[in-house]
Structure 1
């Protein structure tokens, strides 16, 4: 009977250990390269209240927009490109589209429009693209990339005219889009006014707090505390445990009549309390880096805990994971990363994706 149990989906996890003060640390770059995020979860052991500076950074993430049934070609108009694409960092992602079944669109902050489309749409558009890395023997999906920041992508040029004709006349495509604009010059984005003829809804990230009591927790030690008499849980075991905590799974199971059980990794301890702080919405890397910087300051004063954790979940149906790396949904759609911050400014970083995704950097 067990022979019929389906195998678990393959996934990729890349781990990195470093120190925030190290001149070659890439923590900010890794965060910046993960463009589309829907949730940030912060876990602080032996804490009942999130530090005010962390709370302020989370509540300062700013509003984002949902523009309904917007034609793609509207984002290729010169006025839009000059106001938003070239004057800051614009994040756009199609909403409620499934990467394994639907056409999905992403506009990266570097000014690249990525269309992940099925075979029929690709042939109707007639634009140059590449087969998806995760197609079957016969390509069923294609990726089209348009460099809209290029100096030659202007009306009158062959490439511009071809793309606009394909998306405006030959195969008009409309989507609901999540949008957020970050200006390096401090200007206020006015996307609502620009798209006033469309239904444009404004949202704020949702914040929730959960206090956990008497939970089994693995022992984590930074490099300076490790030794013959000090053992620490591995980073991979910690990631599994963290998923159980987020899912509110009991980590103190006994192997009685259950087919499978999960227990807290060894060595372990019991936390009197821990604070789980979660922010959900359309969250861009600039805001996440601000939260990370504030968490680093948590250990400026002595604390009972030696570590804190921050987990960032990317959209399962985003066309990309890190940078321009293709992301595909096979069984799990994993697309996340996790920082464990230690009191001496050491950190562990895990970057995880599913089987149909390029390997994280």
Structure 2
């Protein structure tokens, strides 16, 4: 069972919002694929009723640390770097000081692809083959160069490699500040990245307890939908909005703080009151570590028949969102997803939100 439905643009401020209903037991693993294909993440929040699933223990168990380091771009194509980090496990890197619509931005996507998102002047001076970006402020003002670091042609004895190294050294030879995560390829657990000058940043965990929260009841009809309808679109929009408010600990969803005369927001009905626990962990989060968190919590939730929610924020200045979908910023830069897990019905609801300048569809 699955429905991947784009909500109408007028229902989500011209940004794009996609909703996927899927069965947790399905071999398609649609809820997991959304997590696995979203490489650049900086924050995860899990929302659950208190004393049901152990979010405070599970998040730091699977999410460790990342590094900040100054590197030249040519360091990223060094044969030893490729052999020791790119090919051996999973490495994700993102330059930390650039804006995707205004500056040169560099990244490694976790699958061995080096992505250079370049301004026109840099691209023309660099002289490497690329393509025009989908979302420049002006025509022909931004370009993308992609280099597969795992390809056989990335051999120091070959002209292809020699040209890339020469151009990077000559044109982009200054050190760049990177956030780098090095992870176990199977589990997503943080591994030691032992290059000189690497500064370790431990993931930060914040736990909040919010009593008396109004939680919308997810109806059987909503979970069984097989086609889009006006009522269903409205319910989906309301659920997504509630998850966003809950993840930020908004008082607008607390029962004793809700006053219809002063608060424009009202929790969708029917709803129930619950004491919630919000656990937020921040850092450079690998997709597999997020999936490990979700899968462990899901096993606990299935045993206790507890619904819970997860919200993941992606880097707004990352060059891609999901997979190879090109990402820009424009005026908002949305690059995030939220998931509702309903184990009593073997269902998950996934919301994928991205700004207008994003090729994901």
TM-score of the two chains, using structure 2 as the length reference:
0.86
What is the match of residue 105 of structure 2? 104
Distance 1:268 1:53, change over 3 A: closer
Q: CA deviation at 1:161?
A: 1.2
Is 1:267 matched with 2:273? Answer: no
What is the match of residue 79 of structure 2? 78
Q: CA deviation at 1:173?
A: 4.2
What is the match of residue 169 of structure 1? 170
User: Which of 10-19 and 239-248 deviates more?
Assistant: 239-248
User: Which of 237-246 and 124-133 deviates more?
Assistant: 237-246
Q: CA deviation at 1:134?
A: 0.7
Q: CA RMSD in A?
A: 2.7
Q: CA deviation at 1:124?
A: 1.4
Please tell me whether the aligned partners of residues 54 and 295 of structure 1 are also in contact (alpha carbons under 8 angstroms): no
For residues 54 and 209 of structure 1, the distance between their equivalents in structure 2, rounded to whole angstroms, comes to 7
Q: Where do residues 180-191 of structure 1 align in structure 2 (5 Å cutoff)?
A: 180-184=181-185, 189-191=191-193
For residues 173 and 9 of structure 1, the distance between their equivalents in structure 2, rounded to whole angstroms, comes to 40
What is the match of residue 291 of structure 1? 293
Please tell me whether the aligned partners of residues 31 and 348 of structure 2 are also in contact (alpha carbons under 8 angstroms): no
Distance 1:50 1:97, change over 3 A: farther
Please tell me whether the aligned partners of residues 181 and 190 of structure 2 are also in contact (alpha carbons under 8 angstroms): no
For residues 102 and 83 of structure 2, the distance between their equivalents in structure 1, rounded to whole angstroms, comes to 33
Q: Where do residues 27-106 of structure 1 align in structure 2 (5 Å cutoff)?
A: 27-45=31-49, 47=50, 49=51, 51-52=53-54, 55-67=57-69, 69-106=70-107
Secondary structure, aligned partner of 2:295? helix
Stretches of structure 2 lacking an aligned partner (at least 5 in a row): 1-11, 226-230
Q: CA deviation at 1:81?
A: 0.6
Distance 1:60 1:84, change over 3 A: same
Please tell me whether the aligned partners of residues 64 and 190 of structure 2 are also in contact (alpha carbons under 8 angstroms): no
Please tell me whether the aligned partners of residues 9 and 331 of structure 1 are also in contact (alpha carbons under 8 angstroms): no
Q: CA deviation at 1:160?
A: 0.9
For residues 225 and 83 of structure 1, the distance between their equivalents in structure 2, rounded to whole angstroms, comes to 46
Stretches of structure 1 lacking an aligned partner (at least 5 in a row): 1-7
For residues 302 and 172 of structure 2, the distance between their equivalents in structure 1, rounded to whole angstroms, comes to 57
Secondary structure, aligned partner of 1:250? helix
Secondary structure, aligned partner of 1:56? helix
Secondary structure, aligned partner of 1:160? helix
Q: CA deviation at 1:96?
A: 2.9
For residues 283 and 218 of structure 1, the distance between their equivalents in structure 2, rounded to whole angstroms, comes to 29
Please tell me whether the aligned partners of residues 242 and 267 of structure 2 are also in contact (alpha carbons under 8 angstroms): yes
Distance 1:254 1:145, change over 3 A: same
For residues 184 and 79 of structure 1, the distance between their equivalents in structure 2, rounded to whole angstroms, comes to 18
Give CA-to-partner distance per residue, 1:65-122, whole Å, 9 cap, x none: 111x311110111111111111111111111321122211111121110001111111
For residues 56 and 245 of structure 1, the distance between their equivalents in structure 2, rounded to whole angstroms, comes to 20
Q: CA deviation at 1:60?
A: 2.9
Q: CA deviation at 1:298?
A: 2.4
Which residue of 249, 254, 257 maps to 2:260?
254
Secondary structure, aligned partner of 1:191? coil
Give CA-to-partner distance per residue, 1:319-356, whole Å, 9 cap, x none: 11011111100111111111111122211111110111
What is the match of residue 3 of structure 1? none
What is the match of residue 200 of structure 2? 202
For residues 138 and 237 of structure 1, the distance between their equivalents in structure 2, rounded to whole angstroms, comes to 38
Give CA-to-partner distance per residue, 1:184-231, whole Å, 9 cap, x none: 489994422xx21xx32101111111111112222213569989xxx9
TM-score of the two chains, using structure 1 as the length reference:
0.86
Q: Where do residues 1-361 of structure 1 align in structure 2 (5 Å cutoff)?
A: 10-45=14-49, 47=50, 49=51, 51-52=53-54, 55-67=57-69, 69-184=70-185, 189-192=191-194, 195-196=195-196, 199-222=197-220, 234-247=235-248, 248-251=250-253, 252-255=258-261, 261-269=264-272, 271-302=273-304, 305=306, 307-344=307-344, 345-360=346-361
Please tell me whether the aligned partners of residues 154 and 160 of structure 1 are also in contact (alpha carbons under 8 angstroms): yes
